[in-house]
Amino acid sequence: MKKDIKTGFDTICVHAGIGDYEFNPVVPPIYQTSTFSFDTAEQGGSLFAGEQKGYIYTRMLNPTVEAMENAVAELEGGHKALGCASGMAAVHTIFASLTQSGDHVVCSSAVYGPTVTLLKTIMAKYGVETTFVNSSVLDEIENAMRPNTKVVFIETPGNPTLAISDLEEIAKITHKHGAKVVVDNTFMSPALQSPFALGTDVIMHSMTKFLNGHADVVGGIIVVKDEETYVSFRKVLNQLGGVIDPFNSFLVHRGIKTLSIRMQRSCENSLKIAEYLESHQEIKWVMYPGLKSHPQYDIGLKQQKGHGGMISFELKGGFEAGKILMNSVKVCTLAVSLGGVETLIQHPASMTHFSLGKEGREAAGITDGLVRLSVGIENVEDLIYDLEQALEKTKSKELALEEA
Ligand SMILES: *Cc1c(COP(=O)(O)O)cnc(C)c1O
């Protein structure tokens, strides 16, 4: 595609980041090489001095990785992007770049669990203190700001509650205090939410999820708005070393071509499933940003182009019903992670959070009947039928228990 034409988002997904390569391939080649040779000592010297653009060593920059980075930067309307080995490598690189000992972070309590752990352990060990807040309540952010606050870190919709935070208002509060807003945009992907358009400063993704979309890559990315930030982040990433490799970059870049239509189908399926679940007698509540019962439904409408592919719900039958549901589904796959073409189902109380015990789980807000669904692109009738037959089994179990 020629660069001098303005296009819509679906077209950008298909064409973004593709440069010019030897032999004019339609997709970027996989430069599966750790290092690049110099023509002369002088050329090597000028590459290292930054006087000439070129590739030196794959940890520093690789053409296949760069093509994927350019694609994500374009999708997010950013300046440049930095490909990371995982979403967590991206989170670490961001905090290592933006904070130092004595600084303070405000973080939404509804963020990915390991992000909380990173802040509470590694960053705390290096002297960076964090205040966790309910970021859906703007006053909580305002009240947590200190003169040494450098970063406000937000995930919206949040993990695992799907609570929505108002990014535009949070950016105003944060900037008034001279700090930067970092958004984990994993759950929405660039197809459904544009945090830069809402005034925020840095975006990150776990590309393991929707961006790649096929459950076969672990990767992360950071998108920035200006060259100065890019250069400072790139130095930190080069030193920490958590870079993505060329082959995984190629797979993510391939996945991005269908991002828009995958998200569209996942949103359509999710709304139908959420409505079905909300009307089911075995279910206590359903949390999905597309349901009018969602507490921040209006903020979602304002800042999102779609409601996403994540649903959580609570089974009336609690722990036992959760286990039966997990063991009875036939189309939904029992697995953690999210954002792939296949629908994944998970019961935190018996799986990810089982070892915490009931009290530990309650402290973490994980109720016994909580189920999380990442809705894929299958036929929605198949997914609903699958949930129907599995929910039926949870009911008979409950009755059997009562009769016994
Ligand atoms: C999965 C996930 C991460 C971490 O990404 P990895 O690729 O597993 O390291 C961070 N944030 C969110 C919202 C996630 O879902």
Tens of pLDDT along 150-189? 999 999 999 888 999 999 999 999 999 999 999 999 999 9
On whether both 240 and 269 belong to a single domain, the answer is: no
Task: Tell me which of 111, 206, 251, 344 to substitute to probe ligand 1's pocket, judged by most ligand atoms within 8 Å of the beta carbon.
Answer: 206
159 CA: nearest ligand 1 atom:
13
Mean pLDDT score, 45-70: 95
Helices marked H in 257-368: 259-278, 297-303, 318-328, 357-363
In a domain, 395, yes or no: yes
Task: Looking at the structure, tell me whether residues 380 and 240 fall in a common domain.
Answer: no
* Cα–Cα distance, 246 to 206 (Å, whole number): 17
CA of 197 to the centre of ligand 1 (A): 23
Same domain, 331 and 314: yes
- Ligand 1 neighbours, Cβ below 6 Å, are 86-88, 112, 155, 159, 184, 186-187, 206, 208-209, 218, 220
Count of domains for the chain: 2
Question: Which atom of ligand 1 is closest in space to residue 220's alpha carbon?
Answer: 7
* Strand 149-155 versus strand 104-108 pairing type: parallel
The closest alpha carbon to 207, from 237, 248, 238, belongs to 248
Q: Are residues 208 and 224 in the same domain?
A: yes
- In this predicted structure, what is the pLDDT of residue 403? 52
Is residue 220 domain-shared with residue 239, that is, in the same domain? Answer: yes
Query: What does the pLDDT look like over 193-208, one tens digit per residue?
Result: 999 999 999 999 999 9
Q: Where are the alpha helices (DSSP H) in 101-226?
A: 113-118, 124-125, 138-144, 167-176, 189-192
Pairing of strands 333-334, 104-108: unpaired
Q: Tell me if 96 is assigned to some domain.
A: yes
Ligand 1 centroid to Cα of residue 162, in Å, is 15
Residue 21 alpha carbon to ligand 1 centre in Å: 32
- Measured by CA distance, the residue closest to atom 8 of ligand 1 is 87
Q: 134: closest CA among 119, 154, 148?
A: 154
Tell me what percent of the residues of the chain surpass a pLDDT of 70: 97
Beta strand 344-346 with 370-374: parallel, antiparallel or unpaired? antiparallel
Q: Where in the sequence numbering do the catalytic residues fall?
A: 59, 112, 184, 209
Nearest CA to ligand 1 atom 4: 87
Backbone angles phi, psi at 149, to 5 degrees: -70, 125
Exposed/middle/buried for residue 72 (C-beta within 10 Å: 0-12, 13-18, 19+): buried
The reply to whether 304 and 215 lie within a common domain is no
d(CA 205, CA 221): 5
Distance separating alpha carbons of residues 307 and 291, to the nearest angstrom:
9
Give per-residue pLDDT as tens, 310-331.
Answer: 999 999 999 999 999 999 999 9
d(CA 177, CA 297): 28
| Separation of CA 394 and ligand 1 centre (Å) | 31
Q: Is residue 73 domain-shared with residue 163, that is, in the same domain?
A: yes
Query: Domain for residue 236, yes or no?
Result: yes
Does the residue 201 lie in any domain? yes
Q: Where are the alpha helices (DSSP H) in 57-137?
A: 63-76, 87-98, 113-118, 124-125
Residues spanned by the domain of 394: 264-403
What is the pTM for the complete model shown? Answer: 0.96
CATH number of the CATH domain containing 145: 3.40.640.10
- Using the predicted structure, report yes or no on whether residue 62 has a pLDDT greater than 80: yes
Rounded CA-CA distance 93/86 in Å is 11
Q: State which of 216, 240, 256 marks the end of a domain.
A: 256
Per-residue pLDDT, averaged over 70-94, amounts to 98
pLDDT tens, residue by residue, 356-402 = 888 888 877 789 999 999 999 999 999 999 999 999 999 865 555 55
For the chain, what is the mean pLDDT? 95
Are both 392 and 297 inside the same structural domain? Answer: yes
What ligand 1 atom has the least distance to the C-alpha of 337?
A: 1
Cα of 279 vs centre of ligand 1, distance in Å, is 31
**The residue type at 235:** K
